[in-house]
Structures are given as C-alpha cells and as structure tokens.
C-alpha cells in the first residue's frame, strides 16, 4: 500500500511539472530590414532579421519585442541545387548559431538582452526554391530562453528548449537578399528530475499492480 501511495505521489508531481515544457513559444519574425548572405560552397549561410513578436502557442495575445535582432549562421554547405528533390543542404558542422536579442515587453526603452541563444543540430538545414523566394528550414534548433521573458509570458522557468525554424528568403543563390519572414517555435524539454519522477511513478504503479494480481 505504501509503495502504491509513493508511486501515485511521484506521478502527480511529474504531472505538475508538465506546464514547464508543454506550452510552445513562437518568435514571429516579419523580416523587416533583414538580410541574408551565402557567397560560395565554402561559406555558411548567414542572416539577420529585424521585426519580432512573441506569443505562447494556443493563446490569443502577441507581444512585440523592442529593439530586436534575430541572427543565425548555418553549418557548412553540403551540396544540392535548390530544388525539392535536391535542396541546398547545410551543416550541421563546424559552426552553427542562432541568437535573438531584444527587450522583454512591455519595456519600450531598454538595453537589449539575449532572449534566445542556441544552435542548429543534426541533420542540419535546407533551403529550397519556392514561390517568391527560398524557404530555409532547420528542424532541430536547441538552446535556452531568457528567464525574464518566460516569466513575462507566464511560463515556468525551463533550462533547455528544442524547436524548428522556417524563414522565407528573397534573392539569388549564391549571393544574398532580404529575409521576408522567419518563424522560430520552441518547446521546453522535460528536466531530468521530471523524468525521474515519471520513472518512479511508473515503476511503483507497475509493482503495485503486480502485487495485486498475484494476490488474486
């Protein structure tokens, strides 16, 4: 009976930790004044985008980020010709970075801070020709979000985030052009302590059920 109570308590505590990684946040970039560049097969693709807002996915409110800058550097060019069958492929090494700076709302006048800092992970990134420009996609962006921003959004503090990034680039490859839009969606990953609670809960429940079955 004691084992079952402990298991249930651990499982309840685990469920209580879910909000820290169950509400994705969305950095929405308008691309206002943003530029990108990629000159040759030995260069990474770099971009800087301005004009950002942020929201918690599933909620109606969107908040502007003041004095924002969104910049990234891809990994090494791997090949391709930009079609859907053979996109331009980049990375994931040797250098990948993704940074968002700005002021946490509602401060319209402040010194910008790092709101998100991370990198692209394997399998890297791709760019494909699309209507009106190229679509740049990274499916494994990992990093950390400023605790003050999480607090403003009403989200519990979380250490690690993972998500996807999509941007529309106008111009020519190789060369450069404008960043028409960029969208970074991040979800917090469960802390190790939360996983331990889940493990304890599941193990305890399984043990309690096993004892019950053998008593019948």
All structural domains of the chain with their residue ranges: 23-189
* Average pLDDT score over residue span 178-203: 67
Give 81-90 pLDDT, tens digit per residue. Answer: 888 888 999 8
For 28-47, give the DSSP string: EE--TT-EEEE-STTSPPEE
d(CA 57, CA 15): 20
Give 26-80 pLDDT, tens digit per residue. Answer: 999 887 788 999 988 778 889 998 889 999 998 999 998 988 899 999 888 888 8
User: What per-residue confidence (pLDDT) applies to 124?
Assistant: 82
Whether residue 201 has pLDDT greater than 50: no
To 5 degrees, how large is the angle CA 33–CA 38–CA 42?
Answer: 155
* Comparison of pLDDT for 131 and 26, the residue scoring more: 26
Q: Are 75 and 46 in contact (CB under 8 A)?
A: no
User: What per-residue confidence (pLDDT) applies to 7?
Assistant: 43
Residues contacting 149, CB < 8 A, separation 6+: 54, 104, 115
d(CA 215, CA 94): 59
Residues contacting 8, CB < 8 A, separation 6+: 201, 204, 205
User: What per-residue confidence (pLDDT) applies to 121?
Assistant: 81
Give 115-126 pLDDT, tens digit per residue. Answer: 999 998 877 889
* Comparison of pLDDT for 212 and 30, the residue scoring more: 30
Whether residue 22 has pLDDT greater than 90: no
Per-residue confidence at 92, pLDDT binned at 50, 70, 90? confident
Taken in order 188, 192, 197, 200, the sign of the CA dihedral is positive
Alpha carbon separation from 108 to 2, 54, 66, 68, 141 (Å, rounded) = 55, 15, 6, 11, 28
């Amino acid at each position: 009976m004691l084992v079952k109570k402990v298991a249930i308590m651990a499982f309840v505590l685990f469920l209580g930790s879910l909000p820290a990684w169950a509400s994705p946040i969305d950095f929405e970039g308008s691309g206002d004044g943003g530029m990108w560049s990629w000159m040759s097969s030995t260069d990474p693709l770099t971009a800087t985008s301005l004009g950002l807002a942020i929201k918690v996915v599933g909620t109606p409110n969107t908040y502007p980020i003041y004095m924002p800058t969104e910049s990234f550097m891809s990994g090494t060019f791997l090949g391709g010709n930009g079609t859907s069958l053979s996109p331009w492929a980049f990375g994931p090494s040797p250098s990948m970075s993704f940074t968002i700076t700005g002021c946490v709302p509602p401060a319209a006048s402040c010194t910008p801070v790092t709101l998100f800092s991370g990198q692209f992970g394997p399998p890297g990134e791709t760019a494909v020709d699309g209507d009106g420009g190229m679509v740049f996609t990274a499916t494994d962006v990992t990093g950390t979000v400023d605790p003050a921003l999480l607090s403003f959004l009403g989200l519990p503090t979380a250490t690690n985030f993972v998500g996807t990034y999509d941007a529309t680039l106008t111009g020519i490859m190789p060369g450069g052009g404008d960043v028409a839009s960029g969208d970074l969606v991040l979800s917090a990953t469960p802390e190790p302590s939360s996983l331990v609670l889940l493990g304890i809960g599941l193990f305890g429940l399984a043990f309690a059920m096993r004892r019950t079955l053998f008593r019948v």
